[in-house]
Structure 1
Amino acid sequence: MWFQVILVIALIGIGAYLVRSTPSPRHLAIRRLLVLLALLAGVVMVVWPGLLSRLAEFVGIGRGADLLFYLAIVAGLIYVVNEYKRSVQLTRANTQLAREIALTEARLLDRIAELEARSAPDAER
């Protein structure tokens, strides 16, 4: 029962992270730490497979496979949210770059037209 509460809190935390405005260096450090912990947990589960079943029983879940499934769902959601936020960030950056390129091109064309207008009277003489 209490593991279900932890899973619900984790899902609420993922939702809160989704609506957070911008990632910071602290989030990047936390993300890297979580990846390292997940890799370490994976190595431990491969070396001692019965440990997952005992951990599942300890938290009130029948089988280790069920625990692994629940954790995989949470990890998958975290991945999807991170990729979504990264996609939004890249889209915003591309939009800003496109605007700056368009403005620079317009300024350049205005300057070329201005220089051509200045040199046109000189060419008539």
Structure 2
Amino acid sequence: MLPVVQTVLVLAVVLISLVLMRGGTNARHLAIRRMLVVVFAAGAAFSIFFPELLTAVANFLGIGRGTDLVLYATVVSFLVFMATTYQRFRQLEVSLTRLSRRVALDDAERPWEGA
């Protein structure tokens, strides 16, 4: 595999992870995630119908087989999935902690109010 392709793959993993780990559940991040899913699904369907073209694209990029290209794309997609899942899990932990604190304060005894 060409060093250029390796560098591009590593940069893609790092950049996508940084963008998605940066935070935010706003409409922009949701749109980016949806577009990535659509692109991945279209690429997967395209590779099923035209495997020889996928091999040609892989050869153009300096990768031996189309199967290897699919593997690399799957690894990048999995890392993106892990990053977004971690971000969502972390946000849930923060929300649960805030909620737990609020409930604890609301249910705490207030000695100045009298029992």
Shorter-chain TM-score: which interval?
A: 0.7 to 0.9
Q: Does 1:110 align with 2:84?
A: no
Q: Distance in 1 between matches of 2:85 and 2:60?
A: 33
Q: Percent of aligned pairs with the same residue?
A: 37
Q: How many residues align?
A: 113
Select the structure with the greater relative contact order (CA < 8 A; seq sep ≥ 6): 2
Structure 1 residue runs without a partner (length 5+): 117-125
Q: Which runs of 4+ in 1 moved over 4 A?
A: none
Identify the residue that residue 27 of structure 2 maps to in structure 1.
Answer: 25
User: What letter corresponds to residue 6 of structure 2 in structure 1?
Assistant: Q
1:15 to 1:32, Cα distance in 2 relative to 1, 3 A? closer
Identify the residue that residue 43 of structure 1 maps to in structure 2.
Answer: 45
Bigger CA radius of gyration: 1
TM-score (norm 1): 0.80
Higher helix share: 1
Structure 2 residue runs without a partner (length 5+): none
1:48 to 1:73, Cα distance in 2 relative to 1, 3 A? same
TM-score (norm 2): 0.86
